[in-house]
Structure 1
Amino acid sequence: MSSSTPLVSLCQQATFIKSASLVTQCPPDIGLEVAFAGRSNAGKSSALNTLTHARLARTSKTPGRTQLINFFRLDEERRLVDLPGYGYAKVPLELKAHWQQHLDAYLTGRRSLAGLVLVMDLRHPLSDFDCMMLEWARKSGIPAHVLLSKADKLAFGAAKNELLKVQARMRKELRSDATVQLFSSPKRQGVEQAHEVLAGWLFPPEVEAGQADGES
């Protein structure tokens, strides 16, 4: 899909809708939305901000700051979703259990979920959480795309080698057909490729074709 799609323009105008601590607090389950997930400190919020050209997601040097499901409006029918980060968060076990239950309920029950973007630190990919999310996506039939973030921390050759290793492990060990790319928020590396994936999910050809037929 070319960059002529309205996605880039919509991302530049993205606005916060609401935060939810319970699935019942989420916006109406209509239209299409893409969720961003990632282990705490993987660079998820920075990636989301880079892709939208706005400081939508809160970034912090303290991992685990995103404790709610945050919804951002692209237009009347499309949204981006920032899911809670997991991993290093120094929070009570009861709160972690609540996050896990909330996340599971969202992922399994959200009909408008069109795709999952999983952000991994290129230097520490495929954590237990990452593998769990890829397994869930595979079993649920939800398309997934991996952003190997912080690619600027490695030389290009080393980063490319890590990309190939992650791809191979995902195919062989996890039987995942998720797509994978290198990404760097500071360098804006991989932004166009990521936008193409998002556009494919949020502007599916069959929907556009149906709208065209309806207009004719």
Structure 2
Amino acid sequence: MPLGRFGAACAVAIVVTGPAWAQTLADPATFLTREALEAHMSDSAFCYYPSDRLSCAWAELYTELNDDHAILHSANASADGPMQVIEFRVDWRDNGLCVDYDTQGLIAAREADGNRFPFDLSGLEEITPEALEELLVLIRDNSTPDSCFYYSEDPITPGQLRQHAFYGGVQQEGFDPVALIPSFASGVSMNPG
């Protein structure tokens, strides 16, 4: 999902090096159409920076696809705290998904012990309204206004995607690799960085 960098900023910093994530700009003509992206969202969870064993730095599960927005649950884990699953609203802008800066699209946040993100969202405890407000401030303070995310097919790893970030309408260098985990898998392990 397009909020990978955004969701990860909540709990974990990711530093990636190596040739697979070379710093290049993507040709916007290669970005997936909204229809193609929604097909992936309907069938799969998005696993960002997948390990060889398909654990994820963070993962996103889309639970609603609407005319003007989508709802997703973004999960990440840390070695020194509970796994967080944050519910966001992101707005469609052409073939990309964009984040409202003021609200950050934040709807709710839940926590659970362990590092397995259950796709049925079972076993998650909602955080308090006060903690949710603190989380909103943290996310907004670490975000860039006018953030949008687009996806392309990964030309090196068939069946995987790349997420491309745009801040203030400017494409950022690099990309986030995304493995597609079929929804019927019921969940995915999170790599607590």
Q: TM-score band, normalised by the shorter chain? A: under 0.3
Q: Which structure has the bigger radius of gyration? A: 1
Q: Which has the higher contact order (CA 8 A, sep 6+)?
A: 2
Structure that is richer in helix per residue: 1
TM-score by length of 1: 0.25
